[in-house]
Structure 1
Amino acid sequence: MKQQTRIQLGLATVFLTMMCSASAMAAEHGTEAEAQDMVKKAVALVKSAGPEKAYKAFTEHTDGAFKEKDLYVFAYNFDGTCIAQGATPKMVGKNLLAMKDVDGNAFIKGMIDMVKASSKGWYGPYKFSNPANQTYELKKSYCERGAGDTMLCVGTYFEK
């Protein structure tokens, strides 16, 4: 086999591998519909099982629940204290009302204000660190009012 043919074959292999990897990564992103559906299931669990049991399920993914692709539930009370966090459990109990993204957007406060005003809806865009690739990406979150003065949300990254 000629050197040029081997190089072309090698480049084609690299290109196809990159394309397959990109497709696999894109498939790992949850959709807006999946995020919204997960929030609705989370609200239903809070109502049926009670907040304490539900928050534990959101944070610990009991029986594999409330964790799909890159989607997970996070919950805050209206003073900004995290009460459930499906990706970073160490955030539970911390007041993150003033937390800002890299552009200075106080996104937790923004979500809470939106839920207070309209009970549910999409908040975003804001920039959030994607744990899969350690880069900041645009994200938006669907949120609904939970029990009392709380909100339940699931975020999804914008497709590139």
Structure 2
Amino acid sequence: MTVTKNIFIASVLSVFVASSAFAEERGTADEAMKLLDKAEAHFKTVGAEQAYKDFSSKSPEWQDRDLYVFCFDKAGVTLAHGANEKLIGKDLTELKDADGKKFIADLVKSGLTGGGWVDYRWTNPMTKKIELKSSYARPFGESVCGVGIYK
């Protein structure tokens, strides 16, 4: 009976450890806000053009696990994207999430009105699965930049 009990306890602990490790692979809301603050300071220091290039690079300074910086102009055209540089220059206002929500338009609107969180369902670049995502966007000069977390 003791061996069976020990195997059960070991199994439960391994699930807990695996869950904890997975949770650590995801960025938190606090970490997202710190990255966005850092991005805003960088934007103010180096200017918009250089900041957009930097945010779109694969530098660990601007990408941390599933956290990355993205920026749009007021019309929803991508200026910077830390996860997919192929989106730069594209108008994404009509882009819909897995539930049909035009979330880029919502992010731009939220950012232009001072900032806020927008929830949507999107493919996590780490897991390749559609997951609930929440992104915070706020104005950076004439653009809107943000960072999102997968939940």
Aligned to 1:105: 101
Unaligned runs of 5+ in 1: none
Aligned to 2:53: 56
Identity rate, percent: 34
Alignment of 1:1-160 (within 5 A): 15-62=12-59, 64-116=60-112, 118-123=113-118, 125-148=119-142, 150-158=143-151
In the TM superposition, structure 1's runs of 4+ consecutive aligned residues that sit over 4 Å from their partners are 4-15
Residue identity matched to 1:154: V
CA contact (8 A) 2:83 2:125 kept: no
Query: 1:142, CA displacement in angstroms?
Result: 1.0
- How many residues align structurally? 151
Residue identity matched to 2:101: N
Residue identity matched to 1:121: G
Unaligned runs of 5+ in 2: none
Larger Rg: 1 or 2? Answer: 1
Cα gap change, 1:109 to 1:13, in 2 (>3 Å)? same
Residue identity matched to 2:42: L
